[in-house]
Structure 1
Amino acid sequence: MTTTVTATPKAAPHPLRAEALRGFPPLAGAAVIVLTAVLMIATAREWQGNWAETADQLHDSLLMTLPVAAAAGCWHGGRERRRRTEELWSTAVRPPLTRLLAHAVPVALWVAAGHLLVIAGAAVATWWYALGDHPHLILVPGDTIALMAATVVGHVVGRTVPSLLAAPLLGVAGFAGLALPEGNGVQPLDPASFAVKGSWPAWWQPLAMIAWTLGLALTLTLAYAGRRRAIALLPLAAALTAGALLAQVGDATWRPDPLLRRQVCDTSTTPAICVNAQYGRLLPQVTTALSGVTGKLRGVQGLPTRWADRENGPRSGEAQLPILTPFGWSLVRGRLTRPDRYAWEAAAALSDRGQCKRLSERVSLADGAVLTYLAPSPDQSDYDAVMAKGSATDRAHLRASQAARAKLAGMDEQRRRTWLSAYFTARAACDDKAVPSL
C-alpha cells in the first residue's frame, strides 16, 4: 500500500513583516537612534544623574528627530515613483489605504523603536548616577506617537509631491517650524515645544497631544487613500478638539514639580544643611564639602538656622546654599566638581547682607576676613597679586585686608568664637555699628 504525503504550502509572510525587516525602515530607525544618541552624549554633563533633566533633554531632542522622521517617511513614500512601479502597484488587489499603511507603518514603527531604545539607554545612564527622584515617563507616549505621526504625514507627502527634493525640503521646513521662538500662539500645539523647567504636564496633556498629532496624521491619510473620505472627518474632529484644548489652556497644563518644594536636611551641623529633594542623595557630598566651614562655626551664635537650596531664594533665617543648576558645571554626573569653590560660595552666603544698607570700610574688612577664615577663595592669591600691582589705594586696601585676616586667624579659639558670634548677630540685624572691628 502506497502512502501519499501532501506537502502543506507555507503561508506567505505578512506584508508588514517583509517591509519591516528589510530595505529602508530599519535605516530610518537607525538614523533616529544615531541622531538622538549624538545629541544626548554631547550634553551628557547636563543631564546624567538627574531624572528630570534627562526627561527634559529627551523631549527637547524632538526638535531634531521630528523633522528627520517626517523626511524619512517622505523619502519612503516616493519609493514607487523612483522605481517607476506606480502603475504596477495600482493593479494590486489590496485597496489603496492598505497599501499605504503597509509601506508607512514599518517606517513609523522603526522610528518609534529607535526613540524608545535611546530612552532606555539614557535611563540606564542616569540610573547609574541618580541623586534621587524617579524616572519621568509622562512625556514618552506623546513624544513617541508624535514621531510616528510625523513619519506617516511625511509618507503621504512623499506619495503626493513628485520631486526628489520633497524629503529634504520637508525636513528643513519642519525644523524651521519647530524652531519658532517661544511665545508664539501655536507653541502649545508644538509636540517639540520646550518643557517648562521644574514642571510636569497634567495627566491629560500627553493624551491631548496624542489626539492632536495622531488625529492630523489619520486625517491626512484617510483623505488621501481612504475609500470613504468622509471618514477623515472623525479624526479631524478629535484633532481639532484636542488642539483647541491645548491652545486654550497653554502653559497652565504644566504643574510645578512637588519635589522642588521639599528639602532634605542634615541637622547634625550648625547651620543645618538642606538640599533640594530632587537630588537628596547629594546631601552627604555637600555636608563633606562644607565640613571645614561648619567645623569652624561650632559654638558660634547668631548664625542662620540652615543653608537652604531654594530656587526663589532663602527664607527668613536661612542662607542660600550655592545653586547646583544648570548641571554640567559645579555638578557633573552626580559629583561636585569643585568642593573648595562650593564651600567658599556657601561661606559667602553666610555673610551676605542682602537688603542691608551700604557697607562701611570697617565692615567690609570684617566680611572679607570672616570669609577667608571660613573658606579661602581658590582665587584669593591671584586677587591679592593683582591688588599688589594696583594703585596706592588698592595696595593700602590689600594691606588692611591682610591685617584683618591675620588678626582673626591669630585669635585663640574662645575669643574668636565670641567675636564671630557678635559678628553674625550684628549681620542678622543689619546693624553695621554692632559689627566688631578687627
Structure 2
Amino acid sequence: MNTTTLKRPSPTRSPFPARAGHPLCTELLHSFAPWAGVAVLFTLMVAMGSKSAQWQGSWGETQSELHILSALLGGPLAAAAGCWQGGRERRRHTAELRATAARGPLAQFLVASLPVAAWVSAGYVSTAVGALLATWPYASAGRPVLSALPADAAFLVAFTLVGHVVGRLVAWRPAPPVLAGCAYVALAVPTYQTSGVRHLSPVAAESMSLSLPVWWQPLAMTAWTGGLAVAAVLAYAARRRYTALLPLAAATAAAMLVAQTGDAMWRDDPLFERQVCDTSLRPNICVNAMYRGLLPKVSAALSDVTGRLEGVENLPVRFEDLPGEPKPDEAQLPILTPLGWYVVRGELINPQQYAWEAAAALTGISVQCEARGNDERAHRVDNTVTDWLSPNPVREDMDEHSERQARKGGDEKELARIKADKKALAHLTSMSDEGRRDWLTGYFATVDSCDPSKVPTL
C-alpha cells in the first residue's frame, strides 16, 4: 500500500518587515518611568492620608494640602526621578552609542524624559482624584478649583525635565538625592519672605484654603515653572540653542507678574462672608456658609445650653460665625476650623467641650477686661453660670484633681476657693425656675461690663 507523505507548505514571508515598537512606548511601559509614578503616588497618598482629619470635609483645605504636598514632596521627588533617568546612559556606558543614533539630541531627550514626566504627573493626578473623592461625601458647600490641578501637574513635569537635564550634565551617582534636597530648599526658602517673591514658590499658596485664585494665577505659575524647564531643555538639547530665550522670556514675564501681584492673586471666597442660621433656637445659631452641613449638629450640641436659657432676657441675638469680632448683640460661635480640632469628617468629635466653650462665649468669661477677671467674686459668678449652662466632665475632673492636690499640700486658700465655687453652683442649681430666670436676666445685662460691682451676687 502506497502512502502519500503530505508536506506542510512552508510559510510565506511577508514582503514587509515587522514594525518595531516605538521607542516612546517602550520607555513608557518597560523602563524606570512607571516606578517613578508609583513613588510619587505612594508618597503623596501617605502624606495626604496622615493628615486626612485636617482636610477631609473642605474643598479648600483638601486642595491646599494637596497643592502644598505635591510641591514640597512631589517636586523634589520628580526632580530626583528625572535626574536618575538622565544619567541612565552614563551608568550603562551607552552614551557614545546614543550619540550615533539617527534621531537628533532633542528627540532623544524627549523620548527618554517624557515617559518619566508622564508617569510622575499620573501619580499626582491619581492622588488628586482620590483626595477629592474622599472629601466629596463630607463637603457641604463650595467646589474644587479644577484649574489648579493642571498647573500642579505641569509643575511636576517641569521639575522632572529639569532633573533630567541635570542628570545628563552631572556625572555623579549621588546627584538625584542631592538634587532632591536642593529642590526642597529652593521651594521652602521663598515662603519665609514677606515680599511678593514668596509667591514664586508653589508652596506659598497656603491661603488657598480660605481664598480662590484669580483666573490667570494657574496660567502664570505654569508659564513660570514650565518656561524655565523648556528653556533648560532647549539650552541643553536643541540644535539652535538660542531658541531657549523665548521660553526664558515667558518665564521671566510670568515671574514678574506673580511677584508684583502677590497676595492680590487671591480673592476672598464669597461663602466665607455668609452664614446660615437656625432661628428655632434662642440665641439663634449661625455657622459659616462654607460649613452649612454642620448646622444641625452644632444646634444639637448647643441644645442643652439654649434650653436652659429659655425665658431669659438680655441674651445675644445669635451665635455668629463670620471673620472678625462679633457685634454687640452677638456671641462668637466656637471655632469650627481648623478641621481636625473639633470637626473631623463632618462630625463634632467633642460636643461637650464645644458646648462649654459656647456657654463661655455668652458669659463674662469672654469679656477681655482686667478688672472683672481679677475680681474673685465676679470671676466666680461667671464660671458658675458657664458650668451650669454646660456641665463639663473634663473641668469637673480638673477641679477634683486640684482639690486632691490642695488637701495633700494643705493649701487652705485653694480649698476655700473650691468650696466657694461648689457652693455657688449648688445655689444656682437649687433656685426655682422662675427665680433663676430672673437672676440670669439680671446677670446677662452685665456680661459686657468691666465693672465687677455690677455683677449680681450669687
TM range, normalised to the smaller chain? over 0.9
Q: State the secondary structure of the residue aligned to 1:45.
A: helix
Residue 354 in structure 1 maps to residue 367 in structure 2: yes
Report the CA distance shift for 1:357/1:302 in structure 2 as closer, same or farther (over 3 A).
farther
Say which of 411, 414, 434 aligns to 2:434: 414
Residue 35 in structure 1 maps to residue 43 in structure 2: yes
Q: State the secondary structure of the residue aligned to 1:422.
A: helix
Residue 378 in structure 1 maps to residue 381 in structure 2: no
Moved more, 208-217 or 175-184: 175-184
Amino acid aligned to 1:361: E
Moved more, 210-219 or 390-399: 390-399
Report the CA distance shift for 1:78/1:184 in structure 2 as closer, same or farther (over 3 A).
farther
Once residues 92 and 395 of structure 2 are traced to their aligned partners in structure 1, the CA distance between those partners, rounded to angstroms, is 71
State the Cα distance separating 1:401 from its structure 2 match: 1.5
Q: Which residue of 2 aligns with 1:332?
A: 344
Say which of 71, 74, 98 aligns to 1:65: 74
Moved more, 259-268 or 282-291: 259-268
8 Å Cα contact 1:69/1:150 also seen in 2: yes
Residue 84 in structure 1 maps to residue 104 in structure 2: no
State the Cα distance separating 1:381 from its structure 2 match: 2.5
Report the CA distance shift for 1:406/1:229 in structure 2 as closer, same or farther (over 3 A).
same
8 Å Cα contact 2:79/2:179 also seen in 1: yes
Deviations along 1:365-401, whole A, 9 cap, x unmatched?
Answer: 2212211111012223223324434222222222222
Once residues 317 and 336 of structure 2 are traced to their aligned partners in structure 1, the CA distance between those partners, rounded to angstroms, is 21
Amino acid aligned to 1:81: R
Q: How does 1:237-256 map to 2 (within 5 A)?
A: 237-256=249-268
Deviations along 1:335-368, whole A, 9 cap, x unmatched?
Answer: 1111011100100110034245612333222212
Once residues 444 and 282 of structure 2 are traced to their aligned partners in structure 1, the CA distance between those partners, rounded to angstroms, is 13
Once residues 338 and 48 of structure 1 are traced to their aligned partners in structure 2, the CA distance between those partners, rounded to angstroms, is 17
Once residues 16 and 429 of structure 2 are traced to their aligned partners in structure 1, the CA distance between those partners, rounded to angstroms, is 95
Q: State the secondary structure of the residue aligned to 2:277.
A: strand
Report the CA distance shift for 1:265/1:101 in structure 2 as closer, same or farther (over 3 A).
same
Say which of 182, 187, 198 aligns to 1:187: 198
Once residues 398 and 342 of structure 1 are traced to their aligned partners in structure 2, the CA distance between those partners, rounded to angstroms, is 24
Say which of 165, 173, 179 aligns to 1:164: 173
Amino acid aligned to 2:384: A
Say which of 258, 265, 275 aligns to 2:270: 258
Q: CA RMSD in A?
A: 1.9
Once residues 55 and 412 of structure 1 are traced to their aligned partners in structure 2, the CA distance between those partners, rounded to angstroms, is 53
Structure 1 unaligned segments of length 5 or more: list them: none
State the Cα distance separating 1:9 from its structure 2 match: 5.1
Amino acid aligned to 1:404: A
Moved more, 325-334 or 74-83: 325-334
8 Å Cα contact 1:55/1:137 also seen in 2: no
Residue 46 in structure 1 maps to residue 54 in structure 2: yes
Moved more, 112-121 or 46-55: 46-55
Q: State the secondary structure of the residue aligned to 1:402.
A: helix
Say which of 111, 117, 127 aligns to 2:136: 127
Q: Which residue of 2 aligns with 1:426?
A: 446
8 Å Cα contact 2:87/2:168 also seen in 1: yes
Q: Which residue of 1 aligns with 2:421?
A: 401
Once residues 143 and 368 of structure 2 are traced to their aligned partners in structure 1, the CA distance between those partners, rounded to angstroms, is 38
Residue 175 in structure 1 maps to residue 184 in structure 2: yes
State the Cα distance separating 1:46 from its structure 2 match: 0.9
Deviations along 1:131-163, whole A, 9 cap, x unmatched?
Answer: 332223342222110100000011111111112
8 Å Cα contact 1:133/1:279 also seen in 2: no
Residue 310 in structure 1 maps to residue 322 in structure 2: yes
Amino acid aligned to 1:301: E
State the Cα distance separating 1:434 from its structure 2 match: 3.8
Larger Cα-atom Rg: 2
TM-score normalised according to structure 2 size: 0.90
Q: State the secondary structure of the residue aligned to 2:236.
A: helix
Structure 2 unaligned segments of length 5 or more: list them: 1-11
- Among the aligned pairs, what percent are the same residue? 49
Q: State the secondary structure of the residue aligned to 1:188.
A: helix
Once residues 381 and 50 of structure 1 are traced to their aligned partners in structure 2, the CA distance between those partners, rounded to angstroms, is 34
Matched length: 435
Amino acid aligned to 2:31: G
Amino acid aligned to 2:381: A
Amino acid aligned to 1:94: R
Once residues 259 and 186 of structure 2 are traced to their aligned partners in structure 1, the CA distance between those partners, rounded to angstroms, is 17
Q: Which residue of 2 aligns with 1:368?
A: 383
Once residues 123 and 106 of structure 1 are traced to their aligned partners in structure 2, the CA distance between those partners, rounded to angstroms, is 26
Once residues 172 and 364 of structure 1 are traced to their aligned partners in structure 2, the CA distance between those partners, rounded to angstroms, is 54
Q: Which residue of 1 aligns with 2:151?
A: 142
